[in-house]
Amino acid sequence: MSGLPVVVRVQRDDFDLAHEVQALSAGRHDIGAIVTFSGLCRDEAGTLSALELEHYPGMAEAEITRICNEAVQRFGLQAVTAIHRYGTIASGENIVLVCAASPHRQAAFDGANFIMDFLKTSAPFWKKEHAADGSERDWVSAKDADDSARDRWTKE
């Protein structure tokens, strides 16, 4: 295999899951499992019309790359693609994609899980809500549950 196994993109545009999986495994015969995670903007029972995703250009890419490289080392992943969108994302649209490839399924499941847990708590992105009725809404608060999900990877 040539080149680095990690592809990271931070972009305004949408992505295509099928295309990314195909690109990840194109020309390879050593991959046995690919796990994909897609994060979408949900409408919170019709009350939310969109999310505004702010990010720290440069650091966002660097931090996701660092997390993916750590997952490659820790779980022996063969390839990783991580894409995170920014800007205005309407309910029903994609926000984030993680594809993790490995020879056997468990590493791919764990790797994708690990990447998402760290991405949520340490990649510099912030969500602001747009209410469906046009009223002003606030920034989404960080959740303790996300910290707990991250911390389980450092407990033995």
Partner 1 sequence: MTAVNLVYFAWVRERIGKGEETLDLPESVITAGDLLAHLKTLGEEYEGALEHENVIRVAINQEHVDHREPIAGAREIALFPPMTGG
Question: In this complex, which beta carbon is closest to partner 1, that of residue 9 or of residue 55?
Answer: 55
User: How far, in Å, CA of 58 to CA of 10, rounded?
Assistant: 9
- Residue of 105, 142, 148, 151 interacting with partner 1 (CB under 8 A): 142
Q: What angle do CA 77, 79, 80 make, to 5 degrees?
A: 100
Residue of 14, 16, 54, 151 that binds partner 1 (CB under 8 A): 54
d(CA 115, CA 152): 13
Joined tokens for residue 76: 């022996």
What b-and-e string marks burial along 96-116, b requiring 16 or more CB atoms within 10 Å of the CB? bbbbbbbeeeebbbbbbbbbb
Query: Which listed range, 15-23, 26-34, 69-77, 123-131, lies at the site for partner 1 (CB under 8 A)?
Result: 123-131
Tell me how far, at minimum, the Cβ of 125 lies from partner 1, in Å: 3
Q: Is 137 in the site for partner 1 (CB under 8 A)?
A: no
What's the min distance (Å) between Cβ of 138 and partner 1?
8
Q: Which of 15, 43, 56, 88 binds partner 1 (CB under 8 A)?
A: 56
Number of residues forming the site for partner 1 (CB under 8 A) = 29
Return the number of the residue (58 or 92) whose C-beta is nearest partner 1.
58
- Pick one of 20, 24, 120, 130: the residue that binds partner 1 (CB under 8 A): 120
Instruction: Return d(Cα 31, Cα 11) in angstroms, integer.
Output: 27
CA–CA dist 49, 29 (Å, integer) = 43
Q: Is 95 one of the binding residues for partner 1 (CB under 8 A)?
A: yes
- The C-alpha atoms of residue 126 and residue 39 are separated, in whole angstroms, by 14
List residues binding partner 1 (CB under 8 A): 39, 53-56, 58-60, 62-63, 84, 95-96, 116, 119-128, 138-142
